[in-house]
Structures are given as C-alpha cells and as structure tokens.
Structure 1
Amino acid sequence: MADILVVDDNPVSLSIVRKLREQEGNTVTGCTDARAAIESLTVHAFDLLVTDLLMPEHDGSEVIQAAKSIRPNLRIIVLSEIDERVPPELTMQVLAKLGVARMVRKPIKPAVLASEVLAVLIAG
C-alpha cells in the first residue's frame, strides 16, 4: 500500500486517478490546486505525487519543485495535456531535470496510468 497525493484542477481527472488507485488498496489524497498540494506535502509523507502540469494560478512545476525541496526522494508522475506533436522523449528530458519519473498524457487512460503508477512504486 502507498500514500499517494494527486493534484489536478480537473475534477474528472482527479476522480479517475483517485478511484483507480483506491481500488488497489492505496490511500489517495486529492487536491485541486497547487497551494493545497504544497500544504499537504508539508504535513504528510507521501510515497508518490501524481500532478497535472497546467493549472490556474500555480502550475504543476511549482508543486514538483516544492515537493522536491520538502522530500527530495519523492517519486513523481506528471499528468499532462502537452501537445501530442511534442515527442514524449523531449518532454521527459525536461521533466527528468525536475525529478519526474514518468508522464501520462491526458485524456487519462486508466490502464496506462495504473501501469505507470505500479512501475514507479515497484522501482522505489
């Protein structure tokens, strides 16, 4: 079992991730904005952060940077609607510099997300 923090301003995406992860016996905390996520990170030791990149006011990169300063070894998966014309390898090169382990493109495909989360949790 893992404690997972999910950050997404889209309630549908948040619901999909929460339901999928809870079905597998994990504890999932959901936040709809970066500020609430950063506050949660300061009071709870999560095993995994799953965050959207594009959110109003503060974006996912701010959540990632705060998470890495609070817990440098926290594993991170990014959810993103990054244009499909941008090669995933290029996107991951940029995200890897922030400490991101994986990226899942939106719209979320539950099987893909489940596979990525499992891979990150197993890799430790």
Structure 2
Amino acid sequence: MADILVVDDDPVSLTIVTKILEKEGNTVTGCSNARAAIEALTFHEFDLLVTDLIMPDHDGFEVIQAARNLRSGLRIIVLSGIDERVPPELTMQALTKLGVARMVRKPIKPAVLASEVLAVLIGG
C-alpha cells in the first residue's frame, strides 16, 4: 500500500506503530531517533512520515523541517503525548503551519492510527 517512515524514541511505541501499519499492508521503516530519520529521508522517498514530537537530542520538529527541505510534498502525521489539557485544535493549528496533515495522541489506538493514515494517504 504505502512506504512509511516511523520515528519514535520509545522502542515500545515504535514497535506498536510499526506493527499496526504493517498489518494494514504498508512497508514500514522505523527509526529510533531524529538523526536516523533525517538520514533515511535523505536517501529514500517515502509516501508518509509518522513522527513523535518529543525526543531527546533532536526532536520531531527537526525531522519535520528536514522532511520539508528534502521532500516538500511528503505527507506527515504527528504522534504526540502532549498533555490532554492542551486543546487539540491549538496544537493542530501550530502543526498545520509546518505542513502536518494529522495528529494522533498517545497512547495509540490501533483503529484510530490506521484510520488517520488511510485518510492522509487517500488525500484527506
């Protein structure tokens, strides 16, 4: 179906997201840090980037910026454990300015992630 790059510093979250997306028939490349993700973006054309925001050293914002510089049309979904007291609309307004299509809050619900990925891949 799609070639997807997943970036998350939490190995459990990375494994869960990878398995959910592979179960849907996608090819998934997983990276546990921003540096590896930026390298992958440099050498491979992905259909979709799914990235965590909060990571040590380099964060998801740097991955998004690199994606915009290297692959301007790449579709992006953000995974976020941002405090639920922050209204999702405010967070999404800020992310939309960076070219992010959707945000999926952690903890990840498989059906929600699969649905959001499909919506973004078919142009929603």
TM-score normalised according to structure 1 size: 0.98
> Root-mean-square deviation (CA), in Å?
0.8
- 1:52-99, Cα deviation, whole Å (9 max, x unpaired): 000000000000000011011100000001110111110000000111
Alignment correspondent of 2:77: 77
What is the aligned residue count? 124
Q: 2-side partners of 1:60 and 1:14: how far apart?
A: 14
The equivalent of 1:104 in structure 2 is 104
Q: How does 1:1-124 map to 2 (within 5 A)?
A: 1-123=1-123
Unaligned runs of 5+ in 1: none
Distance (Å, rounded) in 2 between the aligned partners of 1:123 and 1:17: 21
Q: Is the 8 A contact 2:47 2:75 kept in 1?
A: yes
Deviation at 1:12, TM superposition (A): 1.0
Taking the aligned partners of 1:20 and 1:113, their CA distance within structure 2 comes to 8
1:21 deviates by 0.9
Q: Flag structure 2 segments of 5+ consecutive residues without an equivalent.
A: none
Partner amino acid for 1:6?
V
Q: CA deviation at 1:44?
A: 0.3
**Residue pair 2:42, 2:70 contacting (<8 A) in 1 also:** yes
3-state SS of paired residue (2:122): helix
SS in 2 for 1:98: coil
Following TM superposition, the consecutive aligned residue runs of length 4 or more in structure 1 with deviations greater than 6 angstroms are none
